[in-house]
A and B are shown apart, each in its own frame.
Chain A
């Protein structure tokens, strides 16, 4: 018996799930369906361009397709090109691993002013996601609202000198944009005290390597909690780091109240401190990095809201969820791996319980998936990107869907 499993989303959650399923049951037919022509989700479009080590897990995922027999079905959006119902009809199990790509809103007046940008959109533009908007004009004074790892990623990239980006996969356009930015000052603001900040201490420590900045930390506070103590110690170490002109200031315990502007463009951000006093920061751009939420074609709230066993990732018999799509926008890549391994065991047990029920057709139910990008198609894109990398970059990403598709679908034996 060879059951067919469709996984919607080829980010780390989907890939780790396929890996665990095929390790335990190599005879399964597992397809990873992605709306993009390229796999790996936020490993490609979220993990920072200057954190290539973290992207090393892609080698495991290549194994998945090259040796474990998983199929890549790229350029197919579930909910648009194919319905979830049709997928469930064709596969013995369907797993939603579609992540969360919407940026959470701050919910304060002035958020729609020009110059206010959200982290997901900004990082997609920086990392050349095919659906990204153009990179915005930031001006000289940037405020970053948020205290998670994503906020620190943005801070670090905005603060780096061009030389510090050597070895990354930051594209030519974004690199020129960064090099030409006239940023003089970056404030990074947390709503909570530093002890409760979500970023990891190592992310803060890494900032001590920056070569063109002067860093000030205001009000890091104190704590008895060992994890919090590490963060505070890292911040205190950073305070006074002076290697260049660009000023960075960490501020904590400030609740955003409103954004004010003239002529439609943001010029000032107002906060309330813990004593109730108003704090105003001048800014030419205000970037929010305060978390993510569902956006898109799958009705997440309904599906997850009505799940039979949300903790286990079971929405209803034969339909599952994992990763950020299941848990919400919390947790790093290792968390997704643990989540996926637990769900794999559950799915295998459920498939087993089907006994002799006839197996479903899987991908062969969709002969009209004509413009799908399979794994070989992706490898053609991958090869072109690696070959085009300039000397101080490890890759030159192809930024448009059209070029990706032209490369991927170009098959010698099938002239158009």
Chain B
């Protein structure tokens, strides 16, 4: 499968995790890894699985590196029907009321323009005891299996 991993980060945790997921998947798939700040909404591709790893900042907002992407998306308001994405969130339960709102908001935004989410959004808690990759690797494996059913024939 053709996969692009996109990350939104401020302190680099999401970038490191996205790179780790890339290494996990590279053996069997074609994988590219890029910052959301370098990704244009016009680049969404129906033949590709878009896997997003995104943290949360401020008061439940997107990290700075993902904000220009969200703005561009809203400005161009493209139809994303036929586009598949999956999303993994990084957050901290110290911020109870807005826990992982960044990834949540981004998923809602993509869905609002017609993109189809594959699998469930899994979140990591920086104040919890799990390592992000211990949650993300099984998530990635499930997502890829699900995506193969859905977009396998196109890719």
Question: Are B59 and A60 closer than 8 Å at their CB atoms?
Answer: no
The count of residues in chain B whose C-beta lies closer than 8 Å to any C-beta of chain A is 17
Question: Are B12 and A60 closer than 8 Å at their CB atoms?
Answer: yes
Distance in angstroms between the alpha carbons of A63 and B59 in the assembled complex: 29
The A-contacting residues of B in range 42-73, CB under 8 angstroms, are: 58-59, 63-64
Question: Does B39 sit at the interface, judged by CB under 8 A?
Answer: no
Question: Does A52 sit at the interface, judged by CB under 8 A?
Answer: yes
Question: Does A334 sit at the interface, judged by CB under 8 A?
Answer: yes
- Out of B12, B63, B126, name the residue touching A53 (CB < 8 Å): B126
Question: Does A59 sit at the interface, judged by CB under 8 A?
Answer: yes
Contacts of A19 in B (CB 8 A): 12
Contact mask B1-38 → A, CB, 8 Å, 1/0?
00000000011110010000000000000000000000
Question: Does B95 sit at the interface, judged by CB under 8 A?
Answer: yes
Question: Are B10 and A334 closer than 8 Å at their CB atoms?
Answer: yes
Subset of 18 A-B contacts with CB under 8 Å: A54-B126, A56-B126, A57-B11, A57-B12, A59-B13, A200-B58, A202-B58, A202-B95, A206-B94, A209-B96, A333-B10, A333-B11, A334-B10, A334-B11, A334-B63, A334-B64, A337-B10, A337-B12
Question: Does B127 sit at the interface, judged by CB under 8 A?
Answer: yes
- Out of B13, B16, B59, B125, name the residue touching A202 (CB < 8 Å): B59
The count of residues in chain A whose C-beta lies closer than 8 Å to any C-beta of chain B is 22
Contacts of B95 in A (CB 8 A): 202
The DSSP consensus for interface residues of chain A is helix
In the assembled complex, how far is the CB of residue B27 from the closest CB belonging to chain A, in whole angstroms?
18
Contacts of B12 in A (CB 8 A): 16, 19, 57, 60, 337
Question: Are B127 and A52 closer than 8 Å at their CB atoms?
Answer: yes
Nearest-neighbor residue (CB-CB) of A341 within chain B: B12
Question: Are A53 and B16 closer than 8 Å at their CB atoms?
Answer: no
Distance in angstroms between the alpha carbons of A368 and B134 in the assembled complex: 43
Q: A52-B127, A53-B126, A59-B16 are in contact. Are A230 and B59 (CB under 8 A)?
A: yes
The DSSP consensus for interface residues of chain B is loop
Distance in angstroms between the alpha carbons of A208 and B125 in the assembled complex: 21
Question: Are A53 and B127 closer than 8 Å at their CB atoms?
Answer: yes
- Out of A16, A57, A167, A209, name the residue touching B13 (CB < 8 Å): A57
Q: Which 9 A-B pairs have the closest CB atoms?
A: A53-B126, A53-B92, A334-B10, A56-B126, A53-B127, A57-B11, A60-B16, A60-B12, A333-B11
Contact mask A200-216 → B, CB, 8 Å, 1/0?
11100110010000000
In the assembled complex, how far is the CB of residue A396 from the closest CB belonging to chain B, in whole angstroms?
18
B residues apposed to A, CB below 8 Å: 10-13, 16, 58-59, 63-64, 92, 94-96, 125-127, 131
In the assembled complex, how far is the CB of residue A226 from the closest CB belonging to chain B, in whole angstroms?
12
Contact mask A224-242 → B, CB, 8 Å, 1/0?
0000001000000000000
Distance in angstroms between the alpha carbons of A201 and B60 in the assembled complex: 12
The B-contacting residues of A in range 59-82, CB under 8 angstroms, are: 59-60, 63
Contacts of A410 in B (CB 8 A): none
Contacts of B10 in A (CB 8 A): 333-334, 337
Distance in angstroms between the alpha carbons of A325 and B96 in the assembled complex: 34
Distance in angstroms between the alpha carbons of A200 and B59 in the assembled complex: 9
Question: Does A330 sit at the interface, judged by CB under 8 A?
Answer: no
In the assembled complex, how far is the CB of residue B155 from the closest CB belonging to chain A, in whole angstroms?
29
Nearest-neighbor residue (CB-CB) of A19 within chain B: B12
Distance in angstroms between the alpha carbons of A222 and B52 in the assembled complex: 39
Distance in angstroms between the alpha carbons of A134 and B142 in the assembled complex: 53
| Apart from A56-B126, A57-B13, A333-B10, 4 more pairs, CB < 8 Å | A51-B94, A53-B94, A60-B12, A334-B11
Question: Are B127 and A167 closer than 8 Å at their CB atoms?
Answer: yes
In the assembled complex, how far is the CB of residue B31 from the closest CB belonging to chain A, in whole angstroms?
17
Distance in angstroms between the alpha carbons of A167 and B126 in the assembled complex: 12
Distance in angstroms between the alpha carbons of A104 and B14 in the assembled complex: 35
Contact mask A33-60 → B, CB, 8 Å, 1/0?
0000000000000000001111011011
Nearest-neighbor residue (CB-CB) of B16 within chain A: A60
The B-contacting residues of A in range 160-185, CB under 8 angstroms, are: 167
Distance in angstroms between the alpha carbons of A205 and B125 in the assembled complex: 19
The B-contacting residues of A in range 310-358, CB under 8 angstroms, are: 333-334, 337
Contacts of B59 in A (CB 8 A): 201-202, 205, 230
- Out of B13, B92, B126, B131, name the residue touching A60 (CB < 8 Å): B13
| Most chain B C-beta atoms within 10 Å of own C-beta, residue among A16, A60, A230 | A60
Contacts of B94 in A (CB 8 A): 51, 53, 206
